[in-house]
Structure formats: C-alpha cells, structure tokens
C-alpha cells in the first residue's frame, strides 16, 4: 500500500525559494556604501538608532499599500517602480507631521515565489528608501497558495520616523490669511486605480497598445521627503497635507483647525494630461476631485512672507504655486470655481 508523503513544498510553499530571496536581499546589503546597511535581514527583528541631535524625539509610524496599481503592474509586466510607490505612500504621510523617515519594512504576499518578480519589486523599494533617505531594515515574504490566483500578489509597507517635539506640525500653527500652495504630483500616484481599471475594462482599452497610458499608469508616486524636511528645518511650514484617496478636500480638511477654513480656487489648479484624459471618459468633476489628486500631490500651508523662500527648495517640475488661503469659517474646506480640464 502506497502512503502519500506530505511536504510543505507539495502544498505549494517553497521555503528554499524564499531563502534564495533573503540571500538576494543580503547581497544587495553588502554592496551598500556607508553606515546604512540592512544589518538585520534574515534575523528576528531590527535595531536602529534614534538621531542624537534631538532634545525630545517622538516616534511617528505609518503603514500603507499601493492598492490595485499592482494589477496595472501585472498587466504590463513591469514591477520595478511599484516599490517606489510603496515607500512613497508611507513616508509622504510621515512628513505631514514633521517626521524624518528612518526605517522601512515591507510585506509581500504572493501565490507562488517568483524570484524575478520579487527581485524587481525589491529594487523599487530600495530605490524609494534611497530617495526618502531611510533604511530598509526587514520585511516578510509570504507564499500563500490557494489565497491568491496564479501570478497575483499584494504588497504593504511600514515606515517609522522621528521628530523633535518642537518641530511637530500640528493644527495650532495654522492661522487666518496663511496661503495654501499646491505641489504638483508626478501623475496618478497610487489612488483611484479601481476606477481606472473599471473604465479600461468597460471601454475595452488595452494599455499595452497605448504608449501614453502604459507610461502614465505605472509612473511612480513622487516622494516629497527631501523638500518638506528642508522647509521644516528652516521653519517655513505651518502645515501640510499628502493628497491621496479622498482628494484635495478630504485630505486638507484633516489638518484645518476649528473655526478656520481652507478656501481653494480650483481654477488655479494645474492639472496633468492623464487627468484630462480621464475626465474625457465621462467622469464628473465631483468624482474626479474625490478620487484623484488631479495634479496636486501635496499641499503646503505657509505664511505669505515665506512664499519666495519656499519655491527655492523645489525643482521646476514640482515648484509650488498658490491655490488658496485660510479664512474664517465653520466649514473646514471650501472649493470655489472649477478645474480647467481643457
């Protein structure tokens, strides 16, 4: 009588393949110059230093994913930029509170270990960490047969930052007559992709045959860490908001104090070509503003006298411009006029 031998590998989990991926990460670590190396890859946990130049350091932590943008990556078989998106989604939230990102961890869950795909994703994560000047200290790669369909996966990121107590950005610093500046986005970033995919499917649009869409839909999220931390170091910011899901109104509203209002003139918004394309596909203004950043990736709230100084910290592509001001009102946000989609 033949007895079936049960192994983890036969169930769909290949520990040897996972170990090869860990070794790949470790090899990348050994190539890094300077002090920021992945010292604890493959260990049980990671230990990192808190910057010594802070009198009263506070820990700030964020987590996020890239949503269904991963399905766009699967469609065009390009995986080396969604890792940048993953880092951006967390570190761009950290800096809203004035925190400097110091460490990052990733979580990748996949139907079956695909070393080529995983290595490509990881390269993007490492690039994102380099841009954000933080350290990738570890993560988890979970092979989950039966949970995901063939070729499917998901990723999540976790970022930790520090901020000196006297540098924390909070609502108290925002005052009447402060200016609201829009910092341009690099594109769609990582929100609204379920709507985009629904549109593509309904209209039977093949992005692999559309050079414009293929480029725009996978373009990585802009990481604003360097610019925002410079503004904080020079005490040029009263507040800021990362414009993600919920759009301008929802995200700016989160940082406005009671009895004050962010009055925004939408006609001042410099939207991008990809949003103009989406608007032409029968999406209402309300839906566009609620779902997408519409060309505004980040917002700054500043004293009028600091406007010229602030612009110097940004490249031409991402130079901030005025879209509104803080006024007295019981409503947190007031959107006036309309975006020019033409």
The domains found in the chain, sorted by start residue, are 15-40+55-167 (3.30.1330.10), 171-187+222-336 (3.90.650.10)
pLDDT digits (tens, 9 = 90+) for 244-255: 999 999 999 999
Tell me, what's the pLDDT at 8? Answer: 66
Q: Is the pLDDT of residue 90 over 70?
A: yes
Average pLDDT over residues 144-154: 89
Q: What is the pTM of this model?
A: 0.92
pLDDT digits (tens, 9 = 90+) for 256-275: 999 999 999 999 999 999 99
Average pLDDT over residues 124-130: 96
SS (H, E, C) the chain: CCCCCCCCCCCCCCHHHHHHHHHHHHHHHHCCCCCCCCCCCCCCCCCCCCCCCCCCEEEEEEEEECCCHHHHHHHHCCCCCHHHHHHHHHHHHHHHHCCEEEEEEEEEEECCCCHHHHHHHHHHHHHHHHHHCCEEEEEEEEECECCECCCCEEEEEEEEEEEEHHHCCCHHHCCCCCEEEEEECCCCCCCCHHHHHHHHHHCCCCHHHCHHHHHHCCCCCCCCHHHHHHHHHCCCCCEEEECCCCHHHHHHHCCCCCCEEEEEEHHHCCCCHHHHHHHCCCCCHHHHHHHCCCCEEEEEEECHHHHHHHHCCCCHHHCCEEEEEEEECCCCEEEECCCCCC
Average pLDDT over residues 66-88: 97
Tell me, what's the pLDDT at 305? Answer: 97
Tell me, what's the pLDDT at 4? Answer: 74
Q: Is the pLDDT of residue 89 over 70?
A: yes
Average pLDDT over residues 310-331: 97
């Amino acid at each position: 009588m033949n007895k079936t031998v049960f192994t983890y590998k036969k169930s769909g989990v290949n520990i040897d393949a996972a170990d090869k991926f860990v070794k790949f990460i470790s090899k990348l670590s050994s190539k890094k110059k300077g002090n920021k190396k992945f010292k604890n890859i493959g260990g049980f946990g990671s230990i990192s230093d808190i910057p010594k130049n802070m009198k009263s350091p506070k820990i700030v932590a964020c987590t996020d994913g890239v949503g269904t943008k991963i399905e766009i990556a699967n469609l065009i078989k390009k995986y080396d930029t969604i890792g940048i998106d993953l880092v951006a989604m967390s570190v761009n939230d950290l800096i809203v509170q004035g925190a400097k990102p110091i460490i990052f961890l990733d979580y990748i869950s996949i139907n079956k270990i695909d070393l080529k795909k995983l290595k490509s994703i990881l390269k993007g994560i490492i690039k994102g960490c380099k841009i954000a000047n933080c350290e990738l200290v570890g993560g988890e790669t979970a092979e989950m047969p039966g949970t995901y369909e063939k070729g499917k996966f998901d990723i999540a990121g976790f970022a930790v930052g520090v901020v000196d107590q006297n540098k924390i950005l909070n609502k108290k610093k925002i005052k009447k007559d402060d200016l609201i500046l829009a910092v341009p986005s690099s594109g769609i970033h990582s929100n609204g992709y379920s709507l985009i995919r629904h549109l593509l499917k309904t209209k039977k649009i093949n992005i692999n045959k559309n050079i414009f869409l293929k480029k725009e839909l996978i373009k990585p999220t802009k990481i604003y860490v360097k610019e925002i931390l410079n503004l904080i170091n020079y005490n040029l910011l009263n507040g800021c908001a990362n414009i993600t899901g919920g759009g301008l109104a929802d995200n700016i509203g989160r940082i406005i104090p009671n009895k004050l209002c962010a009055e925004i003139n939408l006609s001042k918004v410099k939207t991008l070509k990809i949003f103009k394309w989406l608007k032409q596909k029968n999406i209402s203004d309300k839906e566009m503003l609620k779902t997408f950043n519409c060309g505004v990736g980040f917002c700054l709230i500043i004293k009028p006298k600091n406007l010229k100084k602030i612009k110097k910290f940004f490249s031409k592509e991402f130079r901030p411009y005025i879209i509104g001001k803080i006024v007295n009102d019981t409503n947190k946000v007031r959107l006036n006029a309309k975006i020019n989609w033409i």
